[in-house]
Amino acid sequence: MATGLEVIYFLVSLVVTLYAAAVFAGRLDRLGARLGLPESLLGLLTAAGADAPELATAIAALATGAKGVGLGVVIGSNVFNLGAMIGLSAIVAGGVALRREALALEGGIALGVTGAVCLLGFGLVPAWAALTLALALLVPYVVVIARAEPDAAVLGEPHRRDPPCGRALVEPLLTIPPALAAIVLGSIGMVHASLHLADRAGIPKPLVGTLLLAVLTSLPNAYTGLRLGRAHRGSALVSETMNSNTINLVGGIVVPAIVVGFGARFSNLAAGDAVWLLVATGVTIALLARRGGIGRKGGAALIVSWLGFAAVQGIFG
């Protein structure tokens, strides 16, 4: 395939993926609001929808044998999420704040799962043990947030305790499946095109995953996070960010490690990237735990963290 056609193929796949992800996440978000779900559970559902491009891209890369690309997409997108979702929202909205008990819950789960992936990356635990650790955190978490009391209005709509009916229910059910299919197909197209282009340009494949694909597939999350931040919905924003990263790690690294195997451990760069993510997550939680939440300076620090991460990839990738 000529280079020009590969570029067009990549761009078309990107547009299809991002548009389908926006539709997917939007329908889940609206349905959750009509059901009167708590902000944390709504953040989990929205994260699942917005994460579809990253997960599909990472799994597609692993299926083609490009382990470095798959790992790079997941870890790179997670570091980017912290800066683009929470950091940028803090700058644009003037700050991001939430209750400390909510932060302790969301942040604790994110740190625990990231720590389990670090242990896997350094070969200290097998994949099944990392999955067991992750599930031991996630199952009680889902039970807790599912039983929480609904917050005030979401997306400007009053919460409803009665199940939606008619168009409110039928439209998402008819829209979500084709949107998900488009996300998967578009992600496969992006992976194939980017790998061919990287070969032609002599660019290391892990670098393509960590920077290019990680950022592009995270754009739906960044958009959704900025929307929540501008609406001053700190609980939903932090929930979606942390849940997005957790879903990426479990669905894009831990589960595939069991199915296809990663070998004894990650590469040195990938293992170092996982540690960077763990530290960046801890710093984000510490900034959010401050009185009044994270301000513009803290948001700028998270963005600088991602820029530093990207610089390291460019030097050692």
Domain boundaries, the chain: 3-316
Q: Which residue has the tokens 């997550």?
A: 281
Angle between helices 52-63 and 234-249 (to 10 degrees): 10
- 3-state secondary structure (DSSP) of residue 298: helix
Residues 79-126 have pLDDT tens digits of 999 999 999 999 999 999 998 988 999 999 999 999 999 999 998 999
**pLDDT at 37 > cutoff 70:** no
Please indicate, yes or no, whether the overall pTM of this predicted structure exceeds 0.85.
Answer: no
Q: What value does the mean pLDDT take over residues 41-59?
A: 73
Q: Which residue has the tokens 């199940």?
A: 163
Which of 37, 17, 58, 11 has its CA nearest to residue 193? 11
Determine contact, residues 160/294, Cβ cutoff 8 Å.
no
- CA torsion, points 303, 304, 307, 313, in degrees to nearest 10? -120
Residues 252-293 have pLDDT tens digits of 899 888 887 665 578 888 899 999 999 999 999 999 999 999
Domain 3-316 bears CATH identifier 1.20.1420.30: yes
Q: State which amino acid sits at residue 185.
A: L
Around Cβ 108, how many Cβ atoms within 10 Å? 14
Of 27 and 93, the structure prediction assigns the larger pLDDT to 93
Buried b (16+ CB within 10 A) or exposed e, 117-153: bbbbbbeebebeebbebbeebbeebeeebeeeebbee
Which of 122, 132, 92, 98 has its CA nearest to residue 262? 122
- 3-state secondary structure (DSSP) of residue 54: helix
Structure tokens at 156: 């400007």
**pLDDT at 29 > cutoff 80:** no
Residues 6 or more apart whose Cβ sits within 8 Å of residue 259: none
- 3-state secondary structure (DSSP) of residue 154: strand
> Rounded CA gap, 172 and 166, in Å?
11
Determine which of 121-130, 138-147, 201-210, 298-307 has the lowest per-residue pLDDT on average: 201-210
Rounded to 5°, the CA angle 66-67-72 comes to: 105
